[in-house]
């Protein structure tokens, strides 16, 4: 089986999440990633997953640099690295102003610098066991770990979609985490990664390019598309960043209609505003054969690690994840 990941978060209980990761490992998946948002604490869930598995890589997709302090992230990463025997990947990102400020009550500013400085603090703590840091967005007089990490570093992947963050990723990270990627956006991302890699004297080939791919699977393509429309409605209707992604993918008129219907809380109109072409282009949904063809297309465009993000909700959530796992494994 070629390298493939699974991302879990919404719609599953903590116990179900752990069981799905165990099933993914059995099915031959290379990695499992936990989304946070409102789906449960990533690091708690990943610790349980680490203890229930032996081979699969485990990662955060992503952990926000605003809602946890850098030393807290470093301690969590060190613990997960320990419990997973070195299988942990720390996925970091800036999250969104509309989440960080509205849902967490934390001021959001200068996200690129905040990500850069968080990476520096986390790496210093794991490497040296102590850190003092005076940056633009983070100031730490002194913080030391009261334990010795199993390893002096963990792989760090950054969530990035646009030039500045992509260049930072190319400069400082081991991998890139995208979402709603298209073959075109992957090629563009590589160009910006190269800018950052050159700045640091690195070869861009050192970076692994991965993307979360929303996936809804059914024998009837229309059923699969209809299941994933609420996911697109939420992301495109609520987050300016994903509105920009959809516009750049060629769906400007649809974005306007989705955003307007979303503001009015008109669920039916919001879903109706999402054309099948958008579902096909921004997700990996459809029949099992559609999914496999889409994964192959992504690989040809330069995506090293496709990460399927099953659409799962309600009493059938576990079944939806299992169906996606089977379809991806071929």
Give per-residue pLDDT as tens, 223-246: 999 999 999 999 999 999 999 999
Mean pLDDT of 125-149: 98
How confident is the model at residue 98, as a pLDDT? 85
Q: In which residue ranges of the chain is CATH 3.20.20.30 found?
A: 5-217+287-329
Mean pLDDT of 130-155: 98
How confident is the model at residue 284, as a pLDDT? 97
How confident is the model at residue 8, as a pLDDT? 97
Residue-wise pLDDT for 19-41, tens only, equals 999 999 999 999 999 998 888 99
H or E element, residue 275: none
Q: Is the pTM of this model over 0.75?
A: yes
- Cβ atoms within 10 Å, residue 13: 12
Q: Is the pLDDT of residue 215 over 90?
A: yes
Q: Is the pLDDT of residue 1 over 80?
A: no
Q: Which residues of 271-293 are buried (b: 16+ CB within 10 A; e: fewer)?
A: bebbeeebbebbbbbbbbebbbe
How confident is the model at residue 173, as a pLDDT? 98
**Is CATH 3.40.50.720 what the domain over 5-217+287-329 is classified as, yes or no?**
no
H or E element, residue 132: strand 130-134
Q: Which of 248, 243, 310, 309 lies closest to 274 in space, CA to CA?
A: 243
Spatial neighbors of 167 by CB under 8 A, at least 6 apart, are 192, 193, 195, 196, 199
Integer angstrom CA distances of residue 25 from 6, 19, 32: 10, 10, 8
| DSSP notation for 239-273 | -HHHHHHHHHTT-HHHHHHHHHHHHTT-HHHHHHT
Residue 94 φ then ψ, to 5°: -90, -10
Mean pLDDT of 49-67: 98
Integer angstrom CA distances of residue 299 from 238, 287, 291: 29, 19, 12
How confident is the model at residue 95, as a pLDDT? 94
How confident is the model at residue 167, as a pLDDT? 98
Mean pLDDT of 199-222: 96
CA distance 316 to 122: 39
Residue-wise pLDDT for 176-190, tens only, equals 999 999 999 999 999
| The pairing of beta strand 156-159 with beta strand 88-93 | parallel
pLDDT band of 211, cuts 50, 70, 90: very high
How confident is the model at residue 141, as a pLDDT? 98
Mean pLDDT over each residue of the chain, to the nearest integer: 96
């Amino acid at each position: 089986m070629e390298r493939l990941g699974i991302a879990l978060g919404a719609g599953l209980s903590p116990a179900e999440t752990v069981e799905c990761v165990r099933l993914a490992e059995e099915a031959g998946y290379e990695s499992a990633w936990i989304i946070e948002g409102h789906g449960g604490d990533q690091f708690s869930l990943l610790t349980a997953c680490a203890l229930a598995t032996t081979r699969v890589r485990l990662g955060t997709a992503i952990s926000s640099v605003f809602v946890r302090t850098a030393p807290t992230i470093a301690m969590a990463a060190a613990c997960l690295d320990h419990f997973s025997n070195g299988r942990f990947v720390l996925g970091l990102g800036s999250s969104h102003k509309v989440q960080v400020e509205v849902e967490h009550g934390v001021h959001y500013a200068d996200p690129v610098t905040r990500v850069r400085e968080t990476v520096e603090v986390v790496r210093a703590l794991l490497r040296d066991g102590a850190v003092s840091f005076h940056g633009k967005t983070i100031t730490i007089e002194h913080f030391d770990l009261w334990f010795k990490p199993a390893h002096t570093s963990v792989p760090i992947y950054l969530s990035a979609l646009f030039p500045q963050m992509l260049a930072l990723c190319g400069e400082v990270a081991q991998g890139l985490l995208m979402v709603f990627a298209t073959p075109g956006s992957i090629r563009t991302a590589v160009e910006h990664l190269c800018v950052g890699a050159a700045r640091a004297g690195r070869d861009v080939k050192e970076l692994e390019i991965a993307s979360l791919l929303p996936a809804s699977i059914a024998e009837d393509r229309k059923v699969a598309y209809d299941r994933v429309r609420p996911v697109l409605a939420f992301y495109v209707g609520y987050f300016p960043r994903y509105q920009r992604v959809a516009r750049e993918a060629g769906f400007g008129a649809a974005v306007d209609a989705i955003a307007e219907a979303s503001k009015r809380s008109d669920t039916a109109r919001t879903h109706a505003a999402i054309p099948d072409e958008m579902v096909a282009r921004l997700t990996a949904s459809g029949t099992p054969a559609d999914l496999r063809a889409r994964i192959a297309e992504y690989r040809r465009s330069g995506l090293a690690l496709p990460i399927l993000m099953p659409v799962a909700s309600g009493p059938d959530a576990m079944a939806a994840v299992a169906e996606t796992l089977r379809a991806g494994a071929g």
